[in-house]
Homo-oligomer: A and B are copies of this chain.
Amino acid sequence: MPTSPRSAAVRPRSSGHAPVERSRTTLSPESWIDAATEVLVDHGISQVRIDVLAGQLGVTRGSFYWHFRDRDDLLQRVLLAWSERTTRQLTERLASVHGDPRQQIRDLISLPFRGRAARRIARIELAIRTWARRDEAARRAVEASDRRRLDYHEQLFAALGFSKEEAAQRAFVLYGYEVAESILHGQGTPGEKKDRAAFVEQLILAKIRRP
C-alpha cells in the first residue's frame, strides 16, 4: 500500500512522455489499484478519480493511461484485485494447509481475529460492499466472491457427512458469523470473543433433530 504523503499538486502535463517523479517503469498498475483502494476506503467511491490518484502518487494524469483505458477499467481492476487477494488465495491456502475439514473450520472461525491485517481487510470489504449497493459491476463482484466463499464452507460440511442442503445452511451460518465478527468488531472483550468463537465451533458442528 502506498504510504507517500498526499500531494494535491498534479504536475503539468507538457507531453505524454514527460519525466515524472516516479517513472512509469517504477509505478506499476498495482500502485494505482492500491491507491484507488485506499481512497475508496477513506473517502468513498466518488473520490476515486484519476486526478486525485495522480496527485497522491505524484505522477501525471497522463501516465494513468499507460495502464488503464479509463476510470471504469481501473474500478474493474480494483474489484478483480480484491476478489483475487481475499477469496481465491484464501481458499487455496486454507485447503492446502489442513486436509482435515474440522481444522479448516477452526481456521475460518479464527480469521476475523487476526489482528490489524484482518481489520484492514474488513475495512476494504465494507467499503466495497457499500459501493456494491449502488453499482452493478461491484455488486456482481461481491456476490461472486461471497458465492465462492460459501461454496468452500459448504464443501467442508459436506466432507463431514452433512446432507447437501444442511451443508449449505451450516455454511451460511458460519460464513455469516465471520462477516458479523468483522462488522461487529467493537462488541465484546478479547476474552469474550475467544469464548464465543469456541462456542460457534461447537454449535456449528452440533447435530440437531430435523422434523
- In the complex with contacts A46-B47, A134-B42, A180-B180, A187-B200 CB distance below 8 A: no
Query: In the complex, what residues of B have CB within 8 A of residue A177's CB?
Result: 173, 176-177, 180
Which A130-152 residues sit within 8 Å CB-CB of chain B?
130, 133-134, 139, 142-143, 146-147, 150
Q: How far is the CA of A46 from the CA of B127 in the complex (A)?
A: 14
Contact B183 A169 (CB under 8 A): no
Which of A146, A147, A180: most chain B CB closer than 10 A?
Answer: A180
**How big is the A interface, by class?**
35 or more
A61 at the interface (CB under 8 A from B): no
Q: Which residues of B contact A134 (CB under 8 A)?
A: 42
| Closest chain B CB from A162 CB (angstroms) | 11
How many copies of this kind of chain does the complex include?
A: 2
- The secondary-structure label for the interface of chain A is helix
Within 8 A of B (CB), among A19-71: 41-47
Q: Is the CB of B196 within 8 A of A172?
A: yes
Residue A15 lies at the interface, judged by CB distance under 8 Å to chain B: no
Whether A107 is near chain B, meaning CB under 8 Å from some CB there, is no
Can you give 26 contacting A-B residue pairs, CB < 8 Å? A42-B134, A44-B44, A44-B46, A44-B130, A126-B130, A127-B130, A127-B133, A130-B130, A143-B187, A146-B187, A147-B187, A165-B195, A166-B199, A168-B192, A168-B196, A169-B196, A172-B188, A173-B173, A173-B177, A173-B196, A175-B180, A176-B181, A177-B177, A179-B180, A203-B203, A203-B204
